[in-house]
């Protein structure tokens, strides 16, 4: 059986998968570089003719790939984000660690590439795709995925219709009677562009990893590992107005269940219909993302706290959510239990959410389990 992966070869995600295939005793993985793909330097006929199972990995953490996808998005729909119009501007962009920019054009470019890949795959029906291009594009679009789950009776956090700027946000919050919301970049990940917003009369507070930088040449937003609090309404409005140009999803702030180490939610990786890998994310802050310095909780302690029935129902919810997605072998699902233990919701899904280093089940990590599931699926179709 021959596996192929489209990835950034230098990235640990790619390396983990290559190692998992090697551990299964299979031939070396064909590694197709995103840079080569986007430079049209790949012979797809040769690659796909010699592929039994294809994994489409994350394009992240490679600036050249990011820039080429933004360029592709701009060619499809110029001035999509109302911030950049000329190709020479994109080509001259330099890497700025943590800079938040052009996420909408990035998605547009990636979605277009996924559609192009699917057209190529249509000519090779024997190739098994671990996660389909359609599924990946859907999970990347938070609003579309939210609506998809709602249509399939999967419990999701209530959300506002499209928000175009800060004034619109406040008006919609007032109309709904909401005084606390989460503001998220629709095409963001890893807490990029996320604000936990509270309004209490004339007082307002935004807790966020977004860092606002004002210079003589304009305003820039960056992701920071230090969570900040803004109480100046003009600064909060400026941040939201900038982010809204890239599209937002705004959800009602549902208080999460709490343990002695703070609030918690779960990242559950579902592989071939089995929610076997779980990380408890605990925090004293509204955001539970582990890269922000939050703690991994103990599954046993949370099971004892909420009871095995609630624990199981959260895993069932994650499994049901993934089962509604088109041709999806694996996904990371973030779920929450409300503070009164009565409601549970899917927060979001991640097509590349199986990166859980050192988390094992039956002595297999998530990559090994995914390879095992792909082999079983391939054999069943022979």
Cα–Cα distance measured from residue 211 to residue 227, given in angstroms and rounded to the nearest whole number:
9
pLDDT at residue 116, as a whole number: 97
Confidence class of residue 139 from pLDDT cuts 50, 70 and 90? very high
User: Cβ distance 13 to 352 under 8 Å?
Assistant: yes
pLDDT at residue 217, as a whole number: 83
Mean pLDDT of 296-304: 95
pLDDT at residue 85, as a whole number: 54
| Radius of gyration, alpha carbons of the chain | 21
Q: Give the strand pairing for 203-215 and 218-230.
A: antiparallel
Cα–Cα distance measured from residue 69 to residue 60, given in angstroms and rounded to the nearest whole number:
11
Q: Is the four-CA dihedral 365, 368, 370, 376 of positive or negative sign?
A: negative
Cα–Cα distance measured from residue 358 to residue 366, given in angstroms and rounded to the nearest whole number:
9
pLDDT at residue 358, as a whole number: 87
User: Cβ distance 254 to 182 under 8 Å?
Assistant: no
Mean pLDDT of 219-238: 96
pLDDT tens by residue, 113-123? 999 999 999 99
Edge to edge, what strands does the sheet with 180-185 contain? Answer: 218-230, 203-215, 195-200, 180-185, 248-252
Cα–Cα distance measured from residue 195 to residue 244, given in angstroms and rounded to the nearest whole number:
12
Q: Is 82 a residue whose pLDDT tops 60?
A: no
The DSSP symbol for 257 reads P
Task: Choose the weakest-confidence range: 87-101, 148-162, 319-333, 353-367.
Answer: 87-101
This prediction's pTM: 0.95
Judged by DSSP in three states, 87 sits in helix
For residues 320-353, one letter each, b for 16 or more C-beta atoms within 10 angstroms of the residue's C-beta and e for the rest, the string is: bbbebbeebbbbbbbbbbeeeeeebbbbbbbbbb
User: Cβ distance 257 to 337 under 8 Å?
Assistant: yes
pLDDT tens by residue, 20-54? 999 999 999 999 999 999 999 999 999 999 999 99
Cα–Cα distance measured from residue 25 to residue 8, given in angstroms and rounded to the nearest whole number:
23
Cα–Cα distance measured from residue 240 to residue 265, given in angstroms and rounded to the nearest whole number:
25
Residue 227 dihedral angles phi and psi, to the nearest 5°: -75, 135
């Amino acid at each position: 059986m021959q596996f192929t992966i489209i990835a950034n070869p230098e990235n640990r995600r790619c390396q983990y998968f290559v190692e998992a295939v090697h551990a299964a005793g299979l031939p070396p993985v064909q590694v197709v570089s995103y840079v080569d793909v986007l430079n049209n330097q790949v012979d797809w006929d040769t690659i796909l003719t010699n592929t039994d199972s294809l994994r489409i990995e994350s394009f992240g953490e490679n600036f050249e790939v990011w820039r080429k996808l933004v360029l592709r998005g701009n060619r499809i729909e110029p001035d999509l984000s109302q911030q950049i119009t000329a190709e020479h501007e994109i080509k001259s962009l330099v890497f700025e660690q943590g800079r938040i920019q052009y996420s909408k054009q990035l998605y547009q470019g990636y979605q277009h590439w996924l559609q192009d890949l699917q057209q190529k795959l249509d000519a090779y029906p024997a190739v098994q795709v671990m996660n389909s291009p359609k599924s990946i594009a859907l999970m990347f679009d938070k609003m579309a995925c939210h609506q998809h789950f709602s249509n399939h009776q999967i419990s999701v956090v209530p959300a506002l219709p499209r928000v175009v700027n800060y004034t619109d946000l406040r008006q919609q919050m007032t109309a709904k009677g909401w005084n606390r919301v989460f503001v998220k970049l629709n095409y963001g990940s890893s807490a990029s562009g996320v604000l936990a917003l509270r309004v209490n009369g004339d007082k307002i507070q935004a807790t966020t990893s977004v860092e606002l930088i004002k210079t003589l040449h304009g305003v820039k937003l960056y992701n920071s590992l230090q969570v900040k609090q803004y109480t100046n309404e003009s600064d909060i409005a400026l941040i939201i107005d900038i982010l809204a140009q890239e599209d937002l999803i705004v959800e009602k702030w549902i208080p999460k269940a709490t343990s002695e180490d703070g609030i918690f939610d779960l990242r559950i990786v579902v592989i071939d219909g089995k929610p076997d890998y779980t990380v408890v994310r605990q925090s004293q802050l509204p955001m539970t993302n582990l890269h922000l310095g939050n703690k991994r909780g103990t599954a046993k302690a949370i099971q004892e706290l909420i009871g095995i029935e609630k624990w199981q129902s959260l895993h069932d919810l994650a499994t049901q959510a993934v089962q509604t997605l088109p041709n999806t072998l694996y996904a990371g699902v973030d779920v929450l239990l409300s503070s009164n233990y009565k409601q549970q919701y899917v927060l979001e899904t991640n097509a590349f959410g199986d990166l859980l280093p050192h988390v094992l089940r039956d002595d297999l990590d998530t990559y090994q389990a995914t390879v095992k599931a792909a082999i079983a699926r391939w054999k069943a179709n022979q």
